Structure 1
Amino acid sequence: MASRLKDSAGSGRPFPRSGTWGQPGRVECSIVFGGVFTLLATVWLAQKYEQVWTSWQGEVSEVIFVDPHTVNITRLESAVELGAVCLDGSPPAYYLDRGFGKGADNWLIHFEGGGWCRTAEECLNRAFTQLGSSRYMADEIYMGGILSSDPAVNRDFYDWNRVRFKYCDGGSFFGEVEEVVTVKQSLKNRYSERSAPVYYRGMRIWKAVMNDLLSKGMANAKQGFLTGCSAGGLASFLHCDLFKDLMPEGAKVKCMSDAGFFLHIPDISGAPTIETFYRDVVKLQNITPNLPKECTSSRDPAHCFFATYLLPLIKTPFFVLNPGYDNWQFYNVLVPGKADPAGEWEGCKKNLSHCTENQKTTVQGFRTELLKQLDNLVNEVSENPGNGAFINSCYAHCQLELDWSFSGNDGPKIEGKSIGQAVGEWYKGVKSQTLIDCPFPCNPTCSS
């Protein structure tokens, strides 16, 4: 079977298939053929994958191996005249795998992740990658995990209409700036500069793609499920009730975030790194007018970009999937490079088993704070008793998009239950699902 491998700062660093959860592993493959078959296989593989490199506080890579069942991209050209465009002005895009049978009238929309850009220069950099332009997106991909069409992988949603919503605005699909900003940038190691227009139109992208999907059958949906990974997981919090409002009256609608619960905490030096970062994003992309008034009327708008303040306001049933030890947050929120100039945390961040006793206390404190901020949800005393959670003790980031981590026999489990099983039972209402793992390193399934 074809596989999809992804290692990324914002779009979701996957679990290692070898090694331990304390040490993000390497996925290494080798295909050996004899004689002429080696050459033929090499040529075939070269034609069958696309590798894209971009960056946001780290290196992002995406390798897509084409599966016999691939899904073609839809670049929504009609959105351009509405101003609903990616950072570079190209049309927004998505991959739609049509539902069939009993799932033909059900829709699952999944926001892709990929971090954010806080300055015009950072956004310009993204405009030359798939995180800011549909020109760099693959024409066809294999969709795994909760987007898979294989019932052995995705037993509850395999026959639904499944949409992978490509992320190209840098603001969790929530920005709105009418003005087109021309950005100039000096190129490193070159005696030149580049200049290009940059568009901040995330909310328009959301509306344009939703309208297109409504015209393709979503207007008659019987069930809807909005999900997302990382920055896309934050987008699920931001757009959940908006999605519910688009669905037909009487439709069953729920939402979920995968690794989108970014903690509102200072870094180890005491600096408000992530808060300052979000404040810059919110200001740059004029996000404040789109944030819930119930939040911005009493808080700094930057705070209202955190899930901890959004979740209590969401009326639609919501499921939070998050690792108790989010490795992306460890690198970018808890211990960013500037907070550790001597590099004392490098070993700990690479492998939690290598943490000092003091570092272990900080690491466990991160999980404690996550559970504290999720307290109303976890204890089911929120205004929405239909909420749920799956908080494992793995050192990981996104967990929905890979077959094995979503539902594989060797994937992470809590009380013997896989992520796919827990999410499916929660969505169907079989029973309440609030699964909280024991502290690291107690869970052996986190070392698969």
Structure 2
Amino acid sequence: CCSMAVCSAQERVSLQQQGFRVTEQVAGIPTAVMGEAGEGGPVIAILGEYDALPGLSQEAGVAEPRPLPGPGFGHGCGHNLLGSASLLAATAVKDYLAEHKIPGRVRYYGCPAEEGGAAKGFMVRDGAFSDVDIAISWHPAAFAAVQEAISLANTRIDFSFVGRASHAAAAPHLGRSALDAVELMNVGVNYMREHMPSDARIHYAYLDAGGVAPNVVQPTAKVRYLIRARDLVELKRLIERVRKIADGAALMTETKVEAKIVSGVSNLMGNLPLERAMQANFDRLGPPPFDDADRAKAAEFQATLTEEDVTASWRRIGLPVRKGVTLCDVVVPLEVRGAPMMGSTDVGDVSWVVPTVQARGAVYAIGTPGHSWQLTGQGMLPAAHKGMVHVAKVMAGTAVDAILNPAIIETAKADLAERTAGNPYTPVLSPEVQPPFDMSKATA
């Protein structure tokens, strides 16, 4: 896959070629781009992404692990399709407004680094959506459906410990191990898991284990924590508890600790009027037009999965299991609700300040896990392209319906105001937090 710098440049060129007015470096992020077309109001935002994941390189269309030579990045979450379909939808809306001489503006927001960089959070914080009336997005999936508005808020925090080096055998009493502090912190957090909400999640990864010499007491160590919770209130509680554990680990080891917030996202806020408008477009179109060749190819990838993978996919969407079905052949009704999504998305921040709706686009075999080589391998198949065009039509239709029927936007804004009454949006990212410098890379 291409780096985000290359993907962003390609999208900028495409926007310019299609006649959009282009703004680069949105919110100071080098790889964030925005294209606007039309005049007057309302303003409809369509959100795109294009970042990849490390370790998920895979030869296209091959149903066995076969990484490509090179840096090892792959679109294991389908963001190559996400950005392309959103740009296609924005272009369709632009052309419709121009052809019919209808007032209104459509904007395509190219948002890098959803996988950890929280670009949309920085963009919201810095006012990039301040005059937007509604926002529309989607995510690659196995089924065609309106995205259920449940996701977890999260924050990534780096905890850096500093101790004192010494000879681990000759003078161990003179050393103060930063690595010991990290390990004690991890133990403390692991015990805390017994006493936190069941829908919260905490993960960590070592960024610096203190070196490679075991005979040196490690003077530095760093660990990155990803803390997730159902909403911002509970997230703040968990963050404070984790900070106290880090302070306790530093106290026990006579080291010093510094915490730095890297990124963070809010939980997703639903919007029933927009969900109904999007469902109407799904119902008009029906499922994607997959053919027998598409289903046969999907069967090859489904054969690499476990029965549990396939069953879980049906249950997550809220439908009864239908064995032998490889690709989506239905539109999931709006009233069908599956299991809550335990992941996170920076679309959540947009949804707190602008009425927002998301689609699921059926682009890969039922049962395909997210962040897997199987997903990467299906991202350039004909079925993926058919599903991508299908969901672009859904998004474009939803946008046009909102422009032609102002009541949709009015009721969507009222819905958001009711949901946030007494609980206004507070950015997870404080003003001093800056976008990660690696946000221009493929995995930022």
TM-score (norm: length of structure 1): 0.34
Larger radius of gyration: 2
- Which structure is richer in relative contact order (CA contacts within 8 A, separation 6 or more)? 2
